[in-house]
DNA sequence: ATCGATGGAGAACGCTCGTTCTCGACCTAG
DNA sequence: CTAGGTCGAGAACGAGCGTTCTCCATCGAT
């Protein structure tokens, strides 16, 4: 075999491609970013891109999946560094507040993808639902540990804060949600 | 002047066009529905469509604006038919539950539009924000009438229920939100 | 009856998209 | 050194988009 294509290089290119695609898709929307724009920004030849991901849809799903892994890992690391169960739940909303305040914050990537492709791409829809369910389950476990039967309420407050912050590009929603959760968990202590 | 084009006919065509466009945009997404599909489904010549709305963007904004008027009017009529302030706020979530259970429910049209066009169309973004702000303000007024300082919490619960029901096509979110609001407003009575 | 403006039907335009193909350069195995 | 496979660069393709234009039938005013 003549020209080499190491497996290590493949992994590197794959990650670089996902980095580029995630940044562009999140900033401008998925449908608004063509594959040629991804090629230009990533520096990878179109041919290689299509060998890494057979279709744009595959690329989109891979972007969402990796982002889900990282997003939830970051949240979990932050939240579980807190010991007290009640404070843990409140820490979720501190983490959300920091996320909303990041430069370039443009709402929830999964909600945005759902609005764009939820009705035309089954794999994307499945990925969105999978992410939302995982977030719900993770959050529910933390809330249950406090003993208060308010898991669904806390989850809806979190989702409401995420979508509201996204639409108005305003981190205030995280503060409001946090205050409501404090009330639900009981004011004392 | 030879051929007639009455103002009454213009209004009729306009409404029929908005009906068709709203139905198609909501069911399949805005970007997924071309103007030719709108023409075919509405039965109106393309020429007339473009005389009624100079661009697709104008049509989209008009669809969202009329839907906003109807959506909030329907909500208000339902809620204000209830006398007691506390029951009024709970009625919001009964109305949401009925909406979520409608056949063809595919989430919040404004959140979906935001995901599709929020980063590429300033007029659409403005329309989405206007709708969300109006809903927030209306809801806040109803909650304030109960005397409980939980307006922001109730609003976030409503938004969370809307987005969650949209993603999972599951009306259960309305029940969970309603239960949380009952708790926030005080269990007694 | 004739003229001229208008409206409808749909072709056409220019562009962009996702995806594939062409082709020349290069590298390695023999 | 040669041969053959692979790769990168970018052209090409077919489809679909939003929008505009062409053309003819139609109708009111004269």
Q: Spell out which chain A residues touch chain B, with contact meaning CB-CB distance below 8 angstroms.
A: 27-29, 31-32, 106-107, 110-120, 128-129, 132-133, 150, 152-153, 155-164, 166-168, 173, 176-177, 179-180, 183-184
Q: Considering chain A, what percentage of its residues have pLDDT values greater than 70? A: 96
Q: What is the pLDDT of residues A119-154, one digit of tens each?
A: 999 999 999 999 999 999 999 999 999 999 999 999
Structural domains of chain A ordered from first start: 1-54 (1.10.10), 57-185 (1.10.357.10)
State residue A187's pLDDT score: 65
Q: Long-range contacts made by residues A11-20, C-beta under 8 angstroms, separation at least 24?
A: A13/A44, A13/A48, A13/A52, A14/A52, A16/A42, A16/A43, A16/A44, A17/A42, A17/A44, A17/A49, A17/A52, A17/A53, A17/A59, A18/A59, A18/A62, A18/A63, A18/A66
Q: Could you report the per-residue pLDDT of A63-106, keeping only the tens digit for each? A: 999 999 999 999 999 999 999 999 999 999 999 999 999 999 99
Cβ contact, residue pair B163, A111, below 8 Å: yes
Q: What is the DSSP letter of B119?
A: T
Which among B56, A148, A167, A187 is positioned nearest to A139, based on CA atoms? Answer: A148
pLDDT digits (tens, 9 = 90+) for B113-168: 999 999 999 999 999 999 999 999 999 999 999 999 999 999 999 999 999 999 99
Q: Name the least confident of A20-24, A37-41, A184-188.
A: A184-188
Instruction: Flag if A118 and B112 touch (Cβ within 8 Å).
Output: yes
Which residue's CA is nearest to the C1' of nucleotide D9? Answer: A45
**A3, pLDDT greater than 50:** no
Question: Of B27, B110, B180, which is closest to A153 when you measure between CB atoms?
Answer: B180
Is the pLDDT at A107 greater than 90? The verdict is: yes
Residue A182 reports pLDDT greater than 70:
yes
Q: Please judge whether B163 and A159 are an interchain contact, meaning their C-beta atoms are less than 8 angstroms apart.
A: yes
Task: Provide φ and ψ at A126, rounded to 5°.
Answer: -60, -40
Query: Tokens for A131?
Result: 């992410």
Instruction: Measuring from the CA of residue A34 to each C1' atom, give the nucleotide at the shortest distance.
Output: C17
């Amino acid at each position: 075999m003549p020209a080499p294509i190491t497996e290590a290089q493949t992994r590197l290119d794959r990650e670089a491609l996902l980095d580029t695609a995630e940044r562009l898709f999140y900033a401008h929307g998925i449908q608004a970013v063509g594959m040629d724009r991804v090629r230009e920004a990533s520096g990878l030849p179109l041919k290689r891109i299509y060998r890494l991901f057979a279709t744009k849809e595959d690329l989109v799903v891979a972007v969402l999946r990796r982002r889900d892994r990282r997003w939830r890992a970051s949240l979990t690391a932050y939240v579980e560094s807190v010991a007290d169960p009640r404070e843990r739940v409140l820490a979720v909303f501190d983490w959300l507040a920091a996320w909303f305040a990041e430069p370039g914050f443009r709402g929830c990537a999964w909600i945005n993808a759902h609005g764009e492709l939820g009705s035309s791409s089954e794999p994307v829809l499945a990925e969105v639902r999978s992410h939302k369910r995982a977030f719900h389950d993770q959050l529910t476990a933390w809330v249950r540990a406090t003993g208060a039967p308010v898991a669904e309420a806390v989850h809806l407050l979190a989702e409401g804060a995420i979508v509201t912050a996204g639409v108005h590009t305003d981190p205030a929603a995280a503060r409001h949600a946090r205050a409501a959760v404090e009330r639900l968990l009981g004011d004392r202590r």
